[in-house]
């Protein structure tokens, strides 16, 4: 590409910066001589969506939900051309992007599953009857309780390192994390039990990254083609379409995992109207992956009352 320097926007957490730098490294390998500068941007979500500020975040969220607060300032920087592209966790990206922006690339996906990290001697397979499990995800909470009705769910916030420390500090039997987050942070020494999607369906887009750019930046769109992973794009777009169709991600906990194989596509979903509502699950394989939008719509129709 003609440009020799690109500015990359990202949130400031250790995980956000690690996955952004991994994306930048991939771009540098694909385009030798390219320099990528990191621009750290604090978002409204970073300021308001934790602890006692969570309600304020919900009040501010608007029609794109709380997830929109974690990209608002980054998307504004893109539109104002203060950065050239942004790297997001795909699961944190609202289904509706700001006008004029697109996902220019989905790099190849990491493991999309959730994992259980237990205190010494405790694994997901042998949880005690009243196991104390840390998570602040309602999607995870409802599915944990479906598998282990006696479990006690403890609200858990903070970055990955903080959550890992709280296992001992708060006397937990274990916590639930995303497998991809541990891998991207290089925490391969953490003993983590992968949980089957049949038990806990991951969040839509979990394990994938999304590179957001201006729709009119044709040079960058072309430069990102080699970074875009077609299978990952197909799977994540199907999951995001289900989330949008079902109204998930705002007040409704939702899970979705699409898997492309040969010419077909399977979609497994989880949905609930809220914390005290019945949970619904659905799974189907479509023999023609090109009909992924129809599959997502059918899933949404199947789970919503």
Tokens of 281: 């699950």
State yes or no: is 288 an active-site residue. no
SS3 113: coil
Q: What whole-number distance in Å separates Cα of residue 238 and Cα of residue 86?
A: 21
**How many CA atoms are closer than 13 Å to the CA of 6, on its beta-carbon side?**
30
Sheet containing 264-272: give its strands across: 254-261, 264-272, 279-286
Return the closest-CA partner of residue 194 out of 174, 177, 206. 177
The owner of tokens 């978002």 is: 43
| DSSP letter for each residue of 130-142 | T-EEE---HHHHH
H/E stretch holding 16 reads: helix 14-30
Catalytic residue among 25, 63, 84, 92: 92
Angle at 90 between CA 87 and CA 95, to 5 degrees: 115
Active site residues: 92
């Amino acid at each position: 590409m003609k440009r020799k320097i690109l500015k990359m926007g990202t949130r400031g957490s250790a995980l956000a910066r690690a996955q952004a730098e991994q994306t930048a490294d991939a771009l540098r390998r694909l385009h030798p001589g390219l320099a990528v500068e990191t621009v750290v941007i604090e978002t409204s979500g970073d300021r308001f969506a934790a602890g006692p500020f969570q309600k304020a975040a919900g009040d501010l969220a608007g029609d794109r939900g709380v997830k929109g607060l974690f990209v608002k300032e980054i998307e504004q920087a893109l539109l104002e051309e203060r950065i050239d592209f942004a790297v997001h966790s795909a699961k944190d990206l609202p289904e509706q992007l700001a006008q004029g922006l697109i996902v220019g690339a989905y790099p190849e996906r990491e493991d999309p599953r959730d994992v259980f990290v237990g205190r010494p001697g405790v694994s997901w397979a042998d949880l005690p009857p009243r196991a104390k499990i840390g998570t602040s995800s309602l999607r995870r909470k409802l599915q944990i309780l479906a598998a282990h009705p006696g479990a006690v769910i403890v609200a858990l916030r903070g970055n990955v390192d903080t959550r890992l420390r709280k296992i001992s500090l708060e006397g937990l039997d274990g916590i639930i994390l995303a497998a991809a987050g541990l891998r991207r942070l290089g925490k391969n020494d953490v003993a983590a039990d992968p949980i089957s999607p049949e038990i806990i369906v991951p969040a839509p887009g979990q394990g994938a990254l999304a590179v957001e750019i201006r729709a009119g930046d044709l040079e960058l769109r072309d430069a990102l083609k080699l970074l875009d992973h077609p299978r990952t794009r197909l799977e994540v777009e199907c999951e995001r379409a289900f989330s949008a169709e079902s109204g998930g991600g705002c007040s409704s906990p939702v899970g979705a995992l699409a898997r492309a194989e040969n010419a077909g596509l399977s979609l497994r979903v989880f949905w609930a109207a809220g914390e005290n509502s019945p949970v619904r699950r659905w799974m189907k394989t479509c023999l023609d992956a090109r009909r992924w939008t129809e599959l997502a719509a059918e899933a949404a129709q199947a789970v919503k009352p």
